[in-house]
Amino acid sequence: MEIWHNPRCSKSRAAKQRLDDGGIEYTERRYLDDAPSAEELDHVLKLLNKEPWEIARTKEPAYPELLEHDRAKWIAHMVANPSLIERPIIIDGDSAHIER
Protein backbone atom coordinates (compact mmCIF):
# COMPACT_ATOMS: atom_id res chain seq x y z
CA MET A 1 0.00 0.00 0.00
CA GLU A 2 1.20 3.50 -0.81
CA ILE A 3 -0.19 6.90 0.10
CA TRP A 4 0.56 9.96 -2.00
CA HIS A 5 0.81 12.39 0.87
CA ASN A 6 1.19 16.12 1.43
CA PRO A 7 1.89 16.74 5.13
CA ARG A 8 0.56 20.32 4.84
CA CYS A 9 -2.89 19.06 3.85
CA SER A 10 -5.35 18.27 6.65
CA LYS A 11 -7.18 15.60 4.58
CA SER A 12 -3.88 13.96 3.79
CA ARG A 13 -2.76 14.01 7.43
CA ALA A 14 -6.12 12.57 8.50
CA ALA A 15 -5.88 9.72 5.98
CA LYS A 16 -2.35 8.92 7.11
CA GLN A 17 -3.50 8.94 10.73
CA ARG A 18 -6.32 6.49 9.92
CA LEU A 19 -3.78 4.13 8.35
CA ASP A 20 -1.51 4.49 11.39
CA ASP A 21 -4.39 3.97 13.83
CA GLY A 22 -5.44 0.86 11.91
CA GLY A 23 -1.93 -0.57 12.08
CA ILE A 24 -1.82 -0.71 8.29
CA GLU A 25 1.60 -0.92 6.70
CA TYR A 26 2.18 1.53 3.85
CA THR A 27 4.79 3.51 2.03
CA GLU A 28 4.48 7.27 2.24
CA ARG A 29 5.23 9.16 -0.94
CA ARG A 30 5.51 12.88 -0.57
CA TYR A 31 4.50 13.43 -4.15
CA LEU A 32 5.30 17.15 -4.16
CA ASP A 33 8.96 16.26 -3.51
CA ASP A 34 8.91 12.98 -5.45
CA ALA A 35 6.54 13.63 -8.34
CA PRO A 36 5.14 10.62 -10.15
CA SER A 37 6.32 9.95 -13.68
CA ALA A 38 3.84 10.23 -16.52
CA GLU A 39 3.62 6.44 -16.58
CA GLU A 40 2.94 6.23 -12.83
CA LEU A 41 0.27 8.91 -12.95
CA ASP A 42 -1.37 7.30 -15.97
CA HIS A 43 -1.41 3.95 -14.14
CA VAL A 44 -2.97 5.47 -11.02
CA LEU A 45 -5.56 7.31 -13.11
CA LYS A 46 -6.53 4.00 -14.71
CA LEU A 47 -6.84 2.42 -11.24
CA LEU A 48 -9.03 5.35 -10.18
CA ASN A 49 -11.02 5.12 -13.43
CA LYS A 50 -10.56 8.89 -13.79
CA GLU A 51 -9.22 11.36 -16.29
CA PRO A 52 -6.50 13.76 -15.11
CA TRP A 53 -8.79 16.81 -15.21
CA GLU A 54 -11.17 14.95 -12.88
CA ILE A 55 -8.57 14.84 -10.09
CA ALA A 56 -7.05 18.27 -10.68
CA ARG A 57 -7.07 20.83 -7.90
CA THR A 58 -8.79 23.73 -9.65
CA LYS A 59 -7.71 26.40 -7.18
CA GLU A 60 -3.97 25.78 -7.68
CA PRO A 61 -2.09 28.57 -9.52
CA ALA A 62 -0.84 26.01 -12.08
CA TYR A 63 -4.39 24.94 -12.99
CA PRO A 64 -4.59 25.12 -16.79
CA GLU A 65 -7.73 27.13 -17.49
CA LEU A 66 -7.63 26.62 -21.25
CA LEU A 67 -6.02 23.20 -21.62
CA GLU A 68 -8.27 21.00 -23.75
CA HIS A 69 -9.13 17.53 -22.52
CA ASP A 70 -6.04 15.92 -23.98
CA ARG A 71 -5.03 13.18 -21.53
CA ALA A 72 -1.32 13.19 -22.44
CA LYS A 73 -1.03 16.98 -22.14
CA TRP A 74 -2.81 16.98 -18.79
CA ILE A 75 -0.63 14.18 -17.43
CA ALA A 76 2.53 15.99 -18.55
CA HIS A 77 1.29 19.22 -16.95
CA MET A 78 0.42 17.45 -13.68
CA VAL A 79 3.81 15.70 -13.55
CA ALA A 80 5.49 19.10 -13.98
CA ASN A 81 3.11 20.63 -11.39
CA PRO A 82 2.30 17.86 -8.88
CA SER A 83 0.43 20.31 -6.62
CA LEU A 84 -2.42 19.90 -9.12
CA ILE A 85 -2.95 16.27 -8.09
CA GLU A 86 -5.82 15.81 -5.64
CA ARG A 87 -4.69 14.27 -2.38
CA PRO A 88 -4.32 11.96 -0.72
CA ILE A 89 -4.37 9.02 -3.09
CA ILE A 90 -4.09 5.57 -1.57
CA ILE A 91 -2.89 2.82 -3.87
CA ASP A 92 -3.35 -0.78 -2.82
CA GLY A 93 -2.30 -3.32 -5.41
CA ASP A 94 -4.73 -3.14 -8.30
CA SER A 95 -6.96 -0.48 -6.76
CA ALA A 96 -6.69 3.15 -5.76
CA HIS A 97 -8.91 5.79 -4.24
CA ILE A 98 -8.79 9.42 -3.22
CA GLU A 99 -9.53 9.98 0.45
CA ARG A 100 -12.16 12.67 0.99
| Residues classed as catalytic | 9
**Cα–Cα dist 29/4, whole Å:** 5
Compute the CA torsion angle 34, 95, 46, 80 (nearest 10 deg): -10
Sheet containing 2-4: which strands, arranged edge to edge?
A: 27-29, 2-4, 89-92, 95-98
Q: How many CB atoms lie within 10 A of CB 13?
A: 14
